[in-house]
Amino acid sequence: MLFLWLYMFYSCAGSCAGLTTRGSPAPPRAAPPLPPLLPGEPGEESSLEEQRAAPDAGSPISSFFNGSGTKRLPQAIIIGVKKGGTRALLEFLRVHPDVRAVGAEPHFFDRNYERGLAWYRELMPRTLEGQITMEKTPSYFVTKEAPARISSMSKGTKLIVVVRDPVTRAISDYTQTLSKKPDIPTFESLTFKNRTTGLIDTSWSAIQIGIYAKHLENWLLHFPIGQILFVSGERLIRDPAGELGRVQDFLGLKRIITDKHFYFNKTKGFPCLKKAEGSSKPHCLGKTKGRTHPDIDPEVVQRLRDFYRPFNMKFYQMTGQDFGWD
């Protein structure tokens, strides 16, 4: 009897499951739960931190499974200065496995700000958990609007400034321009508003960039001095591993980049990498770096040193470092 009852039960299970009481409607199926709103969708205010942590819009699942990482806004930016050694510093830092950086200069906070943070973020490389996203645009340091704009993105952004003797930097700046425009006036004629009186033309960008104290004042309105690291362009050439040690500490990274990563190229006059990022071959910066400077009238050089001296002294006081430019 028991076997007969079990046979009837299992025979009916497949066909009887869909039967309902005659005349009564089938119970409605429960609606599937709605997915949570993604950051930025209407109805939810998303914080900047959530946007930075969120995977790329489009296919968050594929990003997770293919191990390619996530695009994030930069946690650290090399903000200056032009002809100070920013390209060398970035290339050296990219050797570190926990640093991912944009190769080209985005110029977001000075030229492309109206494009918005989504556009900026899309330029960034993908990073894994624990890696740092970086970019470098040397003109940020002298752009009046840049400090407030970067602070608006994230008040915790770490800033790096590579500085160099402002007189040497100005000559290097001029040399770069001369290579592109051979017919420009001489360095000496551009330096002065009136050479007879010795009045320096501070409207010339090559001179104006080197007044570091003036530009730094603008940044200190938005960032504490401890959030800005000042790298010596001269020490970066003499002791690249030592300066990179300071940078790695500042970024909270393990000191992986050491003396073993560098060799000094006598032809170029600066250190090069024994192995570049993603390569087993030595790598030096291109022919646009290490150009031979034109001979400048020593009297003009001395007048520039006299002009920069008070600004340098103030910069030393502000940063707590003596860069030895006098």
Q: Where are the domains of the chain?
A: 70-319
Decide: 151 and 227 in contact? Cβ < 8 Å.
no
Annotated ligand binding at 86? The verdict is yes
pLDDT tens-digit map of 154-194: 999 999 999 999 999 999 999 999 999 999 999 999 999 98
Residues listed for the chain: 326
Cα–Cα distance, 315 to 170 (Å, whole number): 17
Determine whether the annotation assigns residue 267 to a binding site.
no
The rounded mean pLDDT for the chain is 82
Beta bridge partners of 194: 199
Residue 215 is labelled as binding a ligand: no
Percentage of the chain lying above the pLDDT 70 cut: 74
Comparing 324 with 43, which gets the higher pLDDT? Answer: 324
* Structure-block tokens of residue 138: 């040397």
Query: Residue 97: what pLDDT?
Result: 96
Q: Tokens 């930016």 map to which residue?
A: 77
193 catalytically annotated = no
29 marked ligand binding residue? no
* Separation CA 88–CA 79 (nearest Å): 14
Instruction: For the domain made up of 70-319, give the CATH fold.
Output: Rossmann fold (3.40.50)
- Is residue 289 part of an annotated ligand binding site? yes
Q: Tell me: cis bond preceding 81? Omega within 30 of 0 counts.
A: yes
- Tell me which DSSP letter residue 285 carries: -
The residue from 71, 82, 83, 136 that is catalytic is 83
Q: Is 83 annotated as a binding residue?
A: yes
pLDDT in tens, 131-162: 999 999 999 999 999 999 999 999 999 999 99
Q: What's the confidence (pLDDT) of residue 289?
A: 54
CA 75/CA 100 separation, integer angstroms: 11
